[in-house]
Amino acid sequence: MRFVDFAPFNRSSIGFDRLFNLMESAGQLEQADAYPPYNIAKTGENTYRITLAVAGFSQDELAITSQPNQLIVAGRKAEGDNGDYLYQGIAARAFQRQFSLADHVHVTNASLSNGLLAIELAREVPEAAKPRRITIANSDQPQIATQKAA
């Protein structure tokens, strides 16, 4: 089964369009590029770490861009030594890796050490988005509606 119909969920769910679109696009078969290899780890209840193996790239050759609900990591080697290699097994090609982020997830830190780029992420839900209790007005008291004269 390659297609999932989310129509039944749309009847009782509001605002999940982005989630359904992500699930549909993830189900499509794509030729995924495995370069550079990476790990995603949950380091706490609301913290995560993405580690990319970027051996041979310097800080100046890497770019991290955070957009709403998306993180883009790109690398481009500077023009340099184009010697006559008998064998070149160290990949130095340009890359762009995209990660979809949940709402309220943002980058807190990034570091490069020993050829590994570590990007720290945290989910911080603002007070306005946290659950709150709604008080119910007493129906025994008359409600006074104010209307402007037409």
Of 112, 107, 144, 145, give the one whose Cα is nearest residue 123: 107
Residue 60, in any domain of the structure: yes
pTM of the model: 0.66
At 38 the three-state DSSP class reads: strand
Q: Average of pLDDT values for 117-131?
A: 85
pLDDT digits (tens, 9 = 90+) for 59-74: 999 999 998 888 999 9
In terms of residue numbers, what domain contains 72?
33-126
Number of domains observed in the structure of the chain: 2
Q: Is the pLDDT of residue 9 over 70?
A: no
Confidence of residue 131 (pLDDT cuts 50, 70, 90): confident
- CATH number of the CATH domain containing 107: 2.60.40.790
